[in-house]
Amino acid sequence: MLPTLIGAALLVFFLMRLIPGDICEIRLAGTGLYVDEEQINVCRNDLGLNDPLLLQLWNFIIGFFTFDLGKSMWTGRAITYEIGLRFQLSLQVAFMATLVATVIAIPLGTISAVRQNTWLDYFVRAFSIAGIAIPSFWLGIMIILGLLIFTQAWFGTPWMPPIEYVSPFQDFWGNMSQLIWPAVATGYRYSAVATRMTRSALLEVMREDYIRTARAKGLMEKLIINRHALKNSMLPVVTVLGIEFAFLMGGLVVTEQVFNLNGLGKLFVDSVLQKDYSMTQALVMVVVTVAVFTNFIVDIAYAWLDPRIRYA
């Protein structure tokens, strides 16, 4: 895992510096006033952009391992502060979206497998393919539109999710009324792959001998599926959900845009566009670290779901 982290660090470091223009040019040119080379140079010196490339790289990598991510080149505040401000929101949306995906995927995938090749199965499969096809930002716009229309029709006044973020520990319902919609919009999309995975894994397990044995001793079909088949078919599903959770952290970019959420995805887009090197680097490292860490958790979940793996 360490080589992946270091590789990602190198990639983002050089990728960012390939981008023509730097933060000083953008910031000073943005003021609209006449700017001379001298001022840009001062700015570059301040931010350490005139240091040798290898020194900058060294500072970045050492900073990452000592949890000192430095300051944002754009706002001047500590990166840990800027990320901390948004991490909770993104983590919560990612978590809720995964929950929505699980709640949709496992029952639907099970039904689809049990009733294989019936109209119900075709419907579920079409529903899950539609989940991949519908862009989550458009689904978000449609959800907002739907809310506006229905609240107008039922309560007489149009209602939109609040824009200001509140912590779920302060105001649980206020928090939910804002974040449940983006979670549904992304969760539906991510349920698609998991639904198909549940279906195919369950179909495979249902062909095993021990299922036939369970049937032969006269167990109820419900019991066979819930106790015997489902648990063993969860392995690939957990993998898919885990991988998607890791990518959700960074992949929320478009959904946050639609719902106007101030999360990590939005911060990422902004810092790329502002050529805020230190911030972009830190964010990429956070996303990749979460991905690596999630993989680790998924591995542990394997051992819990399938005790054979522990002795393998």
Partner 1 sequence: MVTTTEAQVEAVFEELAEKRPFWSISKDFVRKQPLGTAGMAIVLIMIFASTFAPIIAPYDPELNSFEHMLTAPNTDFLLGTDQFGRDILSRIIYGAQTALFVGFTSALVGSTLGLVLGVASAFFGGKFDLIFQRIMDIFMSFPLIILALAVVAIFGTGVQNVILAITIPFVPRCARVVRSSALAIREIPYIDAARANGFSNARIILRHMVPNVMAPYLIMITAFVGQGILLEASLSYLGLGVQEPTPAWGLMLQGGAEEYVESAPWVAIWPGIAISLAVFGFNLFGDAVRDTLDPKLRSQ
Say whether residue 41 binds partner 1 (CB under 8 A): no
Angle at 136 between CA 112 and CA 293, to 5 degrees: 80
Residues in binding contact with partner 1, number by CB under 8 A: 51
122/118 Cα distance (integer angstroms): 6
Among 3, 32, 76, 218, binds partner 1 (CB under 8 A): 3
Please classify residue 244 by burial: count the beta carbons closer than 10 Å to its beta carbon, then call 0-12 exposed, 13-18 middle and 19+ buried. Answer: buried
Say whether residue 185 binds partner 1 (CB under 8 A): no
Nearer to partner 1, 160 or 220 (CB): 160
Among 81, 122, 293, 304, binds partner 1 (CB under 8 A): 122
C-alpha distances in Å from residue 294, one per residue of 287, 300, 304 = 10, 10, 15
Q: CB of residue 250 vs partner 1: minimum separation in angstroms?
A: 4
161/183 Cα distance (integer angstroms): 13
Among 75, 232, 257, 262, binds partner 1 (CB under 8 A): 257
The counts of H helices and E strands in the chain are 15, 0
Instruction: Considering only residues 137 through 166, tell me which ones interact with partner 1, judged by CB under 8 A.
Output: 137-139, 141-142, 144-145, 148, 158
Say whether residue 7 binds partner 1 (CB under 8 A): yes
Among 62, 130, 297, 303, binds partner 1 (CB under 8 A): 130
3-state class (DSSP) for residue 72: coil
How big is the chain, counted in residues? 312
288/283 Cα distance (integer angstroms): 9
Q: CB of residue 89 vs partner 1: minimum separation in angstroms?
A: 17
- Name the β-bridge partners of 71: 78
Rg (CA), the chain: 24
Interface contacts to partner 1, rule CB under 8 A: 3-4, 7-8, 11-12, 15-16, 18-20, 122, 125-126, 129-130, 132-135, 137-139, 141-142, 144-145, 148, 158, 196-197, 200, 203-204, 247, 250-251, 253-254, 257-258, 268-269, 272-273, 275, 284, 287-288, 291-292
